[in-house]
Structures are given as structure tokens and as C-alpha cells.
Structure 1
């Protein structure tokens, strides 16, 4: 890790902006979703939990596009490592991007828009937990698929800065999972309790 840092200009503006985007995104959607769950402000504002959820989803997608753009821009102004510019790394990069894409897209198809973009925080609950592919392969496949995409891009660009930013993406997702998992389980536990009382 120390060797990697020698190739990264930590004070570069584009690198810092990418870093801020990476940290901001999961923080934003977790705070806003919990706020909605407790206050239903977005639902009241739009007059419907579905419209509120779709609106928040569009904001989250826009932030993800911005984060990816900033990630790519940060790599352009940073040094590259020649050792990563090999045929093996090139193919590994595309394998990671392909696998990551499959995980992200199949997660979205399994959950749908509302399931992907925090519908449960709006009171739009799924009938049962999704257990098919890719959820039968790993927990949180969308997060790890996204991380694989960033890792593939970093390797494809032979970018130490990209590798460092990818590690930050993985760390932020890991922290988000620690907060999201138990909270979501509690939402569904309350649903089951309410069903039993009827």
C-alpha cells in the first residue's frame, strides 16, 4: 500500500473531488432514506411513496454517474504504473468489468427499480427476500459488482490512483452494508410482526 501511495498525488483536485463523491454517495442515500422512513417527507412532497422513491432513485443514479465521471477524470491526471500495462492485466480488467456488469444488472433485474432504490424505506416492501441469482452467489452483489467495475477500470488504466479510489469504494460499501443490513432487516421484522397481529 505504501508503494502504491508513492504513485498517487493526494493533493490533486480531481483526485480529491473523486474521493468526496465516493464518500458522499452512500452517506447521502443512507441519510435521506432513513429520514424518509422516519418522517415520510419525500412521500408527502410527491404525494406518493412510488413517485418519491423513483425521484430519489433518479438522484442516486445521477450521483453514481457523477462519481464514475470523477473517478475517470481523477485517473487521467495521475501517474500510471507500466507494470500494469500487460496483456494479462488487460484481459483481467475486462473480466472484472464484465463480471461486475453482470452482478449489477442482474441485481437490478431481480430487485426492480423500487427494490434497488430503497423502496422499503418508503414502505414499499417486497413480498419475500430475493434469493435467486445473483443473491444466491453473494450478499450485496450490486455493491461488489460496482466495486469490480471500478477495479477493472483502474487496472485498465494502469492507475494507482484508481486502485486507491477503488479501495475507498469497497470500504464505503462495507460501512454502508453494516448500517443498511440491520436497518432493512428491522423494517421487514416489523412487517412480519404487524401481519401476525392481524
Structure 2
């Protein structure tokens, strides 16, 4: 028996981007400090979404392991260089999961279909990396006529200057709402 997909009561879903990360890649040393700063805000957004029964969708790279599933991706991340950045934001039993291979959470994934089955019209994007995956996901959400909210304290970057430019582009060019405080539902 399959569990029905939850419906987004107010049309909102929280999308957690690439937080299950083993931090064994080229830019990890630059990324880790920013993830540490963003982690409390990501945890707060997750807690608020879960308390309000807002759908939480994890969209995560599989790091080229095409036989993996979300449990294995989490296990690899926990066994990585910084499990303290992974453990607080692990998916719970109600979380949904989409495996992605490129920067956007939409590219060649079933996310568009999944969001439509839940009547989602607004995405709150948290995670990493602001100037890469968050930016491209916001653009793809925009072209799908979805409203985008980016809590600025809940996204991590590799390069601060590029992240700031990416946030400005999301706001100006994509109509994204930048949230400078806590996420509430």
C-alpha cells in the first residue's frame, strides 16, 4: 500500500537543497564555514515546516552513485568529512526525496510533477549552494510560474560575493522574495 502524497494546505512546500553532503569535493573547504552559519536557520525552517505539516522535499545530488537511494545518500553524507552538518537536517519519515544530478532541483527530476500533485504554488528554498543550485532552482521555479521565497540566513555559499549577486538576481529578475528573518508558516 502506498502512502498518499501530502497536500500543501496553503500551496507551500519547503525544498531542502543538497544538505546531505559528504563535503569531500573541491570547494568543500570554502563551503563548510558558510554551511555552519546557515545550519541553525535551515533547522528552524525544517522545524517550522514540520510543525505546520508543510511538505518538505529534499532535492539532493547522488554524487554519481546511480544505484543509490535517499537512505544511502544520507549514510554517505554522515560518513563524510562533516557529519555534524548533516545529522541535524536529516529527512524524517514524512519527508519526500528527489535525486538530482545537475544544479537545478527541477532538471530531469520528477519535482514538477510531485509539486503539482500537492497543489504547490510557492517554494521556500533552503540549502546549498546559493550561487549555484539555489540560483538555478529559483530560476527554474520562476519559469514554472511558482512563487519563490529564499530565507537568506538558510542558504550557504562558496563565494560570498557571488552569493550576494545571486540573491539580488533572484529578487530582481525572478521576483523571489528574500526573507531576512525566520521562516514561519
Higher Rg of the two aligned structures: 1
TM-score, normalisation: structure 1: 0.25
Pick the structure with more strand per residue: 2
